[in-house]
Structure 1
Amino acid sequence: MNCLQSWPAPVVRVQSLSDSGMQMIPDTYVRKPCDRPSSLDQNLIPSHGDQIPVIDLQELFSGNPSTLSLLHTACSEWGFFQVVNHGVSHRLMEQALEVWRQFFHLPVEAKQAYANSPTDYEGYGSRLGVEANAKLDWSDYYFLNYLPLSLRNQNKWPSNPSTCRKLTAEYSEALVKICERLTKILSENLGLESDHIQKAFGGKETGGCMRVSFYPKCPQPDLTLGLSPHSDPGGITLLFADDHVEGLQVRKDGNWVTVKPVPNAFIVNLGDQMQVISNGKYKSIEHRVIVNSTTERVSLAFFYNPKEDMTIAPAQKLISNSSPALYPPMSFREYRSFIRTKGPSGKSQVESLKSP
């Protein structure tokens, strides 16, 4: 992939722009009027009942029928839900978030030692996609691989703060356990064998990676976005973020709904590969991130994905004369190369694959 060897322009750290005290953001971050968030847009203000479902994982894992039904509805109608009583230590969650906040507040020179490239994205970055003249997001990030073990290289993880590697590994291990149990229940809810999704993802070679996002204060938050609209290309995403500042928005029925995070909960969303495996019964939903002028925001997004060389296709059991396959088989590596070239592009990738 020669087109992915280098960024099309010098990389600017958004945090440095924010810290400079500038009052007007550069044009490359300014969105077209139709793509800007607006506090005057009533679609941004959720009414009662317009929040993503909250699911008790203890009830779910115990097989409570009403909770299983709630999960099925959440996956079919929202593609998003929050989980509580998930068993992950709240202290570990807060420590993981805080150690990454400390990393982003290190001197630029210390972070630059981990600067990434579009060949694999691992490391410290500030843009997605390599298309020239693209509108950029008001955020910096750190991307790292966790699974499979063959891709895990802790030398690419920050050694400063000193506890970063240890906490990141402990946190990731805890989230993998949740994802493994979720794939079993999601498979059964779709009427598949309980290990169908796990096998489709690669079994013991299933992929896992993390994107830590830092959204600095922005002097003109009404003109830009922290993360462009997109659906996640992979399998299952678990998000933990600062709960004192809202940022995530989900597109529901054509409107943008601002998610109100439940304290100590994970926000879970399904990626495009889940939509493909379920033959469209479960949805990967478009979402974006807004920023504000007074408060920074840190988020940890853990992605539980198919192994790169796994070919993903609709489950045979979900295909019939009345419900033909909506998507062609495609390797996850091939699929993900789209977003790494174009950057976040709404639902354009998965929708473009649908059979005419």
Structure 2
Amino acid sequence: MMGCQEWPEPIIRVQALAESGINSIPERFIKPQSQRPKTESNNCVPQKQGFEDVNDVENINNINIPVIDLQDLYGEDKNLKEETMKRVSEACREWGFFQVLNHGVNHDLMKSAREVWREFFHQPIEVKEKYANSPITYEGYGSRLGIKKGAILDWSDYFFLHYMPSSLRDQEKWPALPNSLRGVIDEYGEEVVKLGGRILELMSKNLGLKEDFLMKSFGGESDIGACLRVNFYPKCPQPDLTLGLSSHSDPGGMTILLPDENVSGLQVRRGEHWITVKPVPNAFIINIGDQIQVLSNAIYKSIEHRVIVNSNKDRVSLAFFYNPRSDLLIQPAKELVTQDRPPLYPPMTFDEYRLYIRTKGPCGKSQVESLTSHK
């Protein structure tokens, strides 16, 4: 498997650091001035691109990513169905992020999924360390992304596991405590994989492609790659100096995020400004990844996002990554390539693509932009 065997430095468990009662964060977590959330929100002037009459920060703070109710897709009313399709299309083209309601996943299951992981992160450290991960696959309990020595670290711990293809699913690598975790996550994964398939169909149709185009490009229902990263963001004594997760676009196909409904933290880049997403109860947050940007020939774009942390509350979120099979070549759909719009990206497998992320860690949109001369 790709990657190096060990982390370049001793791992710092952020939760343990936060619970030790420190009043200031170690230098390794302090971001450069330009990346600090407080600096950005106070100093940057919002661009009007994509907004109506955005004149001040207060207006920006009242904006949320699109919220789309999917129930009309499955009803009899053709007009309502078309209207919902149109809203999904606009969200994909203009935002790259949207929230979905009436998505078909049981609300109690969503709640249970959050609760079992919160319980896992509050297990004794020796229980969690049994699952400590390495950069070879990232599977297990971790606290950093990327193997660059001396990198500035993010204020978060996580647990990463493979769900699809089923040959990679190894429940022995999933936490045994709490006792219900393995069963809950197996069921949750099954439901979210189905939701991902429905969203891919919508995106394919809206691009003017056959409804199974994106699914086939990902390898088909039994061969897609799907994995879960559960993020734990401990409370932080100096949240204005660091980030829970640095700015990045997701390298995979699409992300289905179950946010913490009690604490906001996800921020989406919009023009020159960062918008804090306000989670809607029982909704998932969907976002376009780099692989769909490539397949759509940049009609749909992956969007930079990051996570801010909180001085009073911990935060848990479940990011389910819906990816192409790792050895398939991904390239712009021939139907979306014209004389006026040539292919913007060379063919590349997802394995080749994500090696960059696993080496360098999150780096804005530099990876996908480095693939094309059409910048």
TM-score in terms of structure 1 length: 0.97
Task: Indicate if the aligned counterparts of 2:3 and 2:355 stay in contact, CA closer than 8 A.
Answer: no
In structure 2, distance between residues paired with 1:330 and 1:158: 34
Q: In structure 1, list runs of 5 or more residues that go unmatched.
A: none
- Residues 1:137 and 2:150 aligned together: no
Aligned pair count? 356
SS at match of 1:246: coil
- Residues 1:75 and 2:92 aligned together: yes
User: Per-residue CA shift, 1:267-318, capped at 9, x if unaligned?
Assistant: 0001000100000000100000000110000000101100110110000000
Partner of residue 355, structure 1: 373
In structure 2, distance between residues paired with 1:123 and 1:46: 41
Aligned alpha-carbon RMSD (Å) = 1.4
Partner of residue 329, structure 1: 347
Percent of residue pairs bearing the same amino acid type: 58
In structure 2, distance between residues paired with 1:11 and 1:214: 16
In structure 1, distance between residues paired with 2:59 and 2:360: 30
2:69 to 37, 50, 56: 56
Displacement after TM superposition at 1:198 (Å): 0.5
1:275 to 276, 293, 317: 293
Task: Indicate if the aligned counterparts of 1:140 and 1:215 stay in contact, CA closer than 8 A.
Answer: yes
User: Per-residue CA shift, 1:55-106, capped at 9, x if unaligned?
Assistant: 1112234561111111111001100000001121111111110000000000
Displacement after TM superposition at 1:50 (Å): 2.6
SS at match of 1:31: coil
Partner of residue 170, structure 2: 153
Displacement after TM superposition at 1:185 (Å): 1.3
The within-5 A match list for 1:3-42 is: 4-38=4-38, 40-41=42-43
SS at match of 1:12: coil
The within-5 A match list for 1:54-203 is: 54-62=67-75, 64-203=81-220
Partner of residue 215, structure 1: 233
User: Per-residue CA shift, 1:198-220, capped at 9, x if unaligned?
Assistant: 01000020011000000000000
TM-score in terms of structure 2 length: 0.92
In structure 1, distance between residues paired with 2:348 and 2:333: 13
Paired amino acid for 1:323: R
SS at match of 1:47: helix
Partner of residue 47, structure 1: 60
Partner of residue 53, structure 2: none
SS at match of 2:161: strand
Displacement after TM superposition at 1:253 (Å): 1.1
Partner of residue 281, structure 2: 263
Displacement after TM superposition at 1:243 (Å): 1.1
Paired amino acid for 2:365: K
In structure 2, distance between residues paired with 1:211 and 1:12: 18
Which deviates more from structure 2 when the two are superposed, residues 213-222 or residues 30-39? 30-39
1:345 to 363, 366, 370: 363
User: Per-residue CA shift, 1:172-199, capped at 9, x if unaligned?
Assistant: 1110111111111111110111111001
Displacement after TM superposition at 1:4 (Å): 2.1
